[in-house]
Structure 1
């Protein structure tokens, strides 16, 4: 057996799972996404299985639309908890697993993010991570005094400056600044507390941060953008990149491009972990796995299914669901419309088959198979230089997680591809990414 680097695993635990009909699964609790007990169960299962991190994507507006009419009331992508509050609660009942959540650079201020995530890193003993996003929908703009979302280039320009300000604030305190000398009455060494005094195009932030340097030096930073601006933010600052690649060849090209950018920032390729998102339907046989997918697909009402095609293909409610996919009319998302139509024509898919294909993983990559075939697929991606690990997006929670732990992890461990114990107590230690130096200490 060849020696390989262990595969990294994150667990996406948003909503009730990543299938559009997850809440209708016979064993699902439809109200679980608002219950702490649900997430406690998931967190404890994932930690016992030695996952690297829990991951909570987030949006700050109701982005699901009622297109066609009747779709919105059938969607479980509507009611959820604020992620940082939830992760703070989970920090108290876990000890090793990472705690990562999303926060927007468009609708927050750098000092808020720096303070909150530094606090979570202390409370969790070094397990916090921030997923950097710019937000994209008008639904979010409407909740923050805007009629329209910020223009694309301005959004990313703001994000790049935002990230640098947050990193600067996290360096406010050197690691040994707090001396706590009771005899002399000196609480901290004032020469090791630093004022950022940032003045830029988008932000004017004096500092210093009122939270001491964190156990990880700074929280893990996660990024998911595939744009040129997003790639540069990832190359300069991210420790993990969460991708949405469907095809191995495209994922390999993305991986190579991103890793090649690290050197100019003084970073090594292994300092950044690329972890594509994927939804697995796993069974002891191929037929059992397919049956799990079919069960959920049969619970997708047409109105909800058609909503997953609306942005790409327009309103298809007037066409036979079991007929061919028509040419899209004035699609809002032209590139996605082309990809969807090409897939439908190539595989001779009906409208119903196309929408269930997308609804099975909220548009992400879906793999249906046995433990052996799923681990074969993982190995193929890692060996091809397309991934360092995967962000697992179970179709339904907690059952999809239970299936992965019971069936896939033993096969990964049999092949030496996944840990049996955590390497350390911090998220950085378990991911194998370095602790960043403090800029002021380095300059001494």
Structure 2
């Protein structure tokens, strides 16, 4: 492990409402209305801030999830929710996921800059495209546009939002007549303390990575192996350099699914118990959704057929996220499991996002290894049950990272962009 790298890791928490596993709601620390409880959300923000984390993430939900594989089928709108948490916190960043496929650029630019201004420059936008047909119907569309069209729209959408944020600073009108949008006007929201929200991107397709290199300040990546992460890390940094930017200006932050315990055995037991409390069909249906293939049609005790593996990595395939599919493909190729073995492995290794089951000390070893190896700039941590998993991060994981010189002891900046830049100092 090389110690050449300076600076410190960036740490966020992906707030999957109650936790990333479907059984999270059964925690004794929660009640049936926790997901819409103002105190619950304030607690999440305050604990993250006590840990001096860089940011909390929250995904939008333009369609109800499928409770058979979605751990959090119902969610609050992120910008409204984070505006509430902003009043209970002072430093932690507040990142909202919002789709370029189903939003309007003027409305979203105004909403996000309003959050950024009112929070004192702590807002971020995680840019995604939407692939869910049921979401399209909520917006009066017969179907979701093709992948290439979604990314072409996203590129124009992001450029237009940035122009509108610039208009808030200069007072000059934007005159835009493009392939997807026609707009003449300007924002009347004041610029924020950091100028405008930090841009992050979540997408593993070639066009998604190219967009990240050109515009994003962070990438919410999906990685299952360190080798794959290193390759994708270098790819996005290269896109940034090709766009005339410093490679260090875009931070790579994969998701990391967590089950932690005081011993590895305890952590595995916790993971197993939470998986067993969830729907029996969860793993099969989640994998089906992730790779765009009905896994229930496969022989569970046979290896993955070649035609299924070929479909997983085919960019033209309409199902699932390309980033998730590529990570899953690499993991299957590396371990060559039966379908049943793979589903069992995902309890500990993750599916789409990498998984970690172990002690806080082992987690810190893992974070340091990937960081020192040039695979990541940090992680978006995703506890199995958020309410107590976040406490362990704050009280046990972060102090260990500090002892190794891998994380701040206190905030030195008060904007999200400032946090990101301070990590490189």
TM-score tier after normalising by the smaller chain length: 0.7 to 0.9
Q: CA deviation at 1:268?
A: 1.0
Correspondence for 1:310 among 285, 288, 291: 288
Please name the residue that 2:243 is paired with: 265
Question: Over alpha carbons, which structure has the higher Rg?
Answer: 1
Match of 2:64 in 1: 62
Tell me which of 353, 365, 369 is aligned to 1:376: 365
What is the CA-CA distance between 1:431 and the residue it aligns to?
1.2
Superposition pairs of residues 325-344 of structure 1, within 5 angstroms: 325=302, 327=304, 334-335=312-313, 336=325, 339=328, 343=332
Any conservation in 1 of the 2:8–2:407 contact (CA below 8 Å)?
yes
CA displacement, residues 157-209 of structure 1 (integer Å, 9 cap, x when unaligned)? 111001000100111143xxxxxxxxxxxxxxxxx421111111111111211
Which structure 2 residues correspond to residues 154-303 of structure 1 after superposition, within 5 A? 154-174=149-169, 192-303=170-281
Correspondence 1:292-441 to 2 at 5 A: 292-311=270-289, 312=291, 314=294, 316=296, 324-325=301-302, 327=304, 334-335=312-313, 336=325, 339=328, 343=332, 346=335, 351=340, 354=343, 357=346, 363-432=352-421
Contact 1:325–1:344 (Cα < 8 Å) also in 2: no
* Cα distance in structure 1, aligned partners of 2:296 and 2:37: 36
Moved more, 354-363 or 116-125: 354-363
> If the length of structure 2 is used for normalisation, what is the TM-score?
0.88
Q: Given the alignment, which residue of 145, 156, 162 partners 1:150?
A: 145
Q: Distance in 1 between matches of 2:296 and 2:189?
A: 53
Unaligned runs of 5+ in 2: 314-324
Could you tell me which residue of structure 1 aligns to residue 40 of structure 2? 38
Deviation at 1:371, TM superposition (A): 2.2
Following superposition, the deviation at residue 349 of structure 1 comes to 5.5
Change beyond 3 A, Cα 1:268–1:299: same
Query: What's the secondary structure of 1:302's corresponding residue?
Result: coil
String of CA shifts for 1:11-59, please: whole Å, max 9, x gaps.
1112211123222344443432122211111110000110000101223
Q: Specify the alignment match of 1:90 in structure 2.
A: 85
Q: Offset at 1:420?
A: 0.9
Partner of 1:189: none
Change (3 A) 1:433 1:115: farther
How far the C-alpha of 1:329 sits from its partner, in A, is 11
Given that 2:223 and 2:254 are in contact with CA atoms closer than 8 Å, whether structure 1 keeps it comes out as yes
CA contact (8 A) 2:99 2:130 kept: yes
Q: CA deviation at 1:6?
A: 0.9
Distance of aligned partners of 1:232 and 1:315 in 2 relative to their CA distance in 1, 3 Å threshold: closer
Is 1:328–1:337's contact at 8 Å kept on the other side of the alignment? no
More helix by share: 2
Spell out, residue by residue over 1:369-392, the C-alpha distance to the aligned partner (whole angstroms, 9 max, x if none). Answer: 222221111111111111011101
1:198–1:340 distance in 2 versus 1, CA, 3 Å: closer
Change (3 A) 1:325 1:399: farther
